Structure 1
């Protein structure tokens, strides 16, 4: 950045007058108006995969204590950890 004390009085006056000059937008690309766009939210059903893993017995007991659907609840818990830590998730929908 230029130190203002190094500028001539003519340069300082020119800078002061810039606020009154029209801005040239010709070098800025045109934008598309998205104000009337309609947005849709899609729920992607992830592909379930059967896995076998070894977990501590106390964790299994806690997960099973959720009752019916404890495996889905386990999936939700794991997904929340992934999202919380912003871990990359692969897309297997193709």
Structure 2
């Protein structure tokens, strides 16, 4: 995919779109997606955050629990997901 500069006309159009409020956007020609389209949807399927290897000391019983309850994924992935949910909850709290 080549990176082409926008023409002055295109830049003007983009500025107008940015300034347009959501309620002014005509979506009548966009069909509503049926509920069955979402049956196999997965959030974040293409998002791959950068992983950083670390050494961390975890209580043996906690680590053992994660290894036994990883539900088909690696226990490290499970630990990461639990930590991410905790971080997101704290961020929402402010």
- Report the TM-score when normalising by structure 2: 0.47
The one of the two structures with greater contact order (alpha-carbon pairs below 8 A, sep at least 6) is 1
Q: Which of the two has higher C-alpha Rg?
A: 1
